[in-house]
Amino acid sequence: MNKRLYGLRGATGAENTKESIQKNVVEMCLKLFAENSLSPEDIVSIQFTQTGDLTAMNPAAAIRRGQDSFDVSSCALFCSQEPAIDNSPEKMIRVLVTCYMTESSKLNHVYINGGEKLRPDFCEKK
């Protein structure tokens, strides 16, 4: 079974508290991992961006500390601030997971908790 490198996308909204950021990041990531049948060994890196109004917690720390069901300790984690663009949604965390999947894989991107407005085309009922 041949594998190739893919990029999986996702986004979630959150309030500017450690609890909200951690809860929503963990929910988004675990859903993304499960819907794409990923194991920790499949993941090369996870990159987060967050809007400037979310300052209570780094999303990379949130996924590391917020759960123990999916081991991200060997994944490269990175976080940066989303560019400030006029009329962009506020309180948003985006993710890009670079991972290996089988060549015939159907990608399941995850947009939840307000993130749906960023990519409604990925959120249409299947």
44-80 pLDDT, tens digit per residue, is: 999 999 999 999 999 999 999 988 899 999 999 999 9
Q: Which helix (H) or strand (E) holds 44?
A: strand 43-50
Cβ neighbours of 27 (radius 10 Å): 17
10, 111 Cβ separation under 8 angstroms: yes
Give CA–CA dist 54/2, Å, rounded: 40
Instruction: Please spell the DSSP secondary structure of 21-34, one letter per residue.
Output: HHHHHHHHHHHHHH
- Pairing between β-strand 92-102 and β-strand 3-13 as defined by DSSP bridges: antiparallel
Burial of residue 108 (CB within 10 Å: 0-12, 13-18, 19+) is middle
pLDDT tens string 6-41: 999 999 999 999 999 999 999 999 999 999 999 999
